[in-house]
Structure 1
């Protein structure tokens, strides 16, 4: 029996980034210029070392100029978040549908996840208006899943597909991480400002046996590690909080969720030809490689996305999957595992088959 029979399929993927790009030398110089008076000599030395690391070369940010980040008013920040979240999501949706010859009339469901801004009503309603999606569409907005949010989003879309008739379900992950920019004498903020960026990804799910079949997915939550990776509010503003222990914690949780995913299917690590990991950072990628026992070949796409885009939070794992598909290395029958992790601490894994 074909294991893909009756399964939802990812028909297409499209990604979008804002046009403004910054390399690490420019970003580091900006922080030193505007915030060196807030940083201790030790922190300045750490900053220069982190920004000189080749793991990230450039990033896309939803700004016209870095200067707008300095003392940005909260009202301007949420307006910037809303503008770019809607525009990038729209670009990704249109491109994902166009790739498979569909239009907005074919969309019967829409799920949007984000963690870097909160608006009410949610982004989905702006997309319905901007793109002319049916006012009868089933739409949901998910918040608070952090960098791991793309896979829970996909799980909900898969469930929605069962009642969609001939329509398709669109999954959108969008983050404007620059809308949470903060800077102080805090290692978490120094690291965050060295790796985080902005972007969106859309995927289209349908019933046809074409594309990547969603065979299974699993999730694992470790609330005892909540404070190791999360946003916290200080003076009414989001501040990213990252533990120095995160590589070890995240890699062990990822290894558990991968085991949970593969074991019921009788699969082993060596049976999986393609791996799409959320690129949480160079040290985290290294820790996952060592914990699971992967070769560097399996991590090429993950590292390449980190280098060219940085960490865009939830959509980033779809950038990695898109990179794998663009390389043309996936053959019919190949297994692929997609893994995302983030605030919670949570980890999610999805088993795909070409």
Structure 2
């Protein structure tokens, strides 16, 4: 019995701005700061390798004095709308009915919603009354892959079933107007908002790449590297400058044993489906794998077009790979990183 990914869809928010269009807003936000600091912040945005960002709210709202509660209400309202859009789009592409879903996983870390998103989607699309739901709320950028792992394990234990993983994120809702730290600035420069949905199946008639193996790799004593701190003004980004170097130092332990237990090495992988955490992380990965003739062009392109959308981003990369229609027998390696600190891995075969 095989578990297959049958399709991916995405949904983008109403608002978008290019980096050039964002710079005037930085002038207003940074008014009164040291001119050298202002120039530095602009350079961070210009050199982030992100050409455009989408957001749940307008730039005027992002840089305004909206309260935590007001920003979170926008996150809830727009998150439900985008979640519904990408789930319906995925179902239409797969020619499934909402009632065909046995399991729904929703992932998000950029706001607070109780009931969780899955409850709203069940009612909006009229999923079955016995559909099993799982919200994943605190795994950050890794949660898109995590959701696929959880869905795979459910489907492996339940032949003939179908699942949806819906990732909805609004990092711009976490922007801290009065925080001029590098963590807040870098976060604003590399992150954007978006949603994506992946459909998986253990039904024998459904087609798509097989999820051959999956696993999680946990870094020891690295909780401080990435996450959010809940403050009176919202979710404040925690982002250590050492993240790229830490990832690089662990890459052999993350990749090699995982592939070896499947009788493979990196040379056997045709598609690297990596989460675009930011320009520096992309550069680190390219340096590691470029010499082996591998590339992460699709990862870099997703970062350029949309920015880092936290858990949803790697699913945008996966969609690009699926649209290229890989040949039978080709293999893909999905990889994302998130708070904990941890790496999530999936091996695919077409």
1:203 to 191, 198, 203: 198
1:58 to 52, 75, 97: 52
* Residue 164 (structure 1) shift: 4.5
- Residue of structure 1 in register with 2:302 after alignment: 305
- State the TM-score, normalized to the length of structure 2: 0.94
| Structure 2 runs not aligned, ≥5 long | none
Instruction: Tell me, yes or no, if the aligned pair for 1:277 and 1:340 is still in contact at 8 Å.
Output: yes
* Residue 74 (structure 1) shift: 2.0
- State the TM-score, normalized to the length of structure 1: 0.93
| Structure 1 runs not aligned, ≥5 long | 1-5
* Residue 223 (structure 1) shift: 4.7
- Cα deviation per residue 1:218-243 (whole Å; 9 max; x = unaligned)? 11112522212111123352111212
- Cα deviation per residue 1:236-282 (whole Å; 9 max; x = unaligned)? 52111212211111233344222232010121111101001100111
Distance 1:192 1:276 in 2: 22
* Residue 293 (structure 1) shift: 5.1
2:61 to 48, 64, 68: 68
Question: Structure 1 stretch 87-96 or stretch 156-165: which is displaced more?
Answer: 156-165
* Residue 343 (structure 1) shift: 1.3
Q: 1:57 to 1:297 in 2, by over 3 A?
A: farther
Matches within 5 A, 1:170-209: 170-183=164-177, 184-207=179-202, 208=204
1:44 to 27, 38, 49: 38
Does 2:329 correspond to 1:336? no
Q: 1:36 to 1:243 in 2, by over 3 A?
A: farther
Distance 1:162 1:19 in 2: 37
- Cα deviation per residue 1:278-310 (whole Å; 9 max; x = unaligned)? 001111111122235556752110000000000
Query: When the two structures are aligned, how many residues end up with a matched partner?
Result: 346
Aligned-partner SS, 1:85? helix
Q: 1:125 to 1:254 in 2, by over 3 A?
A: farther
Q: 1:95 to 1:295 in 2, by over 3 A?
A: farther
1:264 to 261, 264, 286: 261
Give me the CA root mean square deviation: 1.7
Distance 1:188 1:42 in 2: 18
- Residue of structure 1 in register with 2:89 after alignment: 95
Instruction: Tell me, yes or no, if the aligned pair for 2:48 and 2:190 is still in contact at 8 Å.
Output: no
Aligned-partner SS, 2:56? coil
Instruction: Tell me, yes or no, if the aligned pair for 1:289 and 1:295 is still in contact at 8 Å.
Output: no
Distance 2:106 2:330 in 1: 29
Does 2:116 correspond to 1:122? yes
- Cα deviation per residue 1:164-214 (whole Å; 9 max; x = unaligned)? 553311111111111111142211111111111111111111123620100
Distance 1:255 1:281 in 2: 20
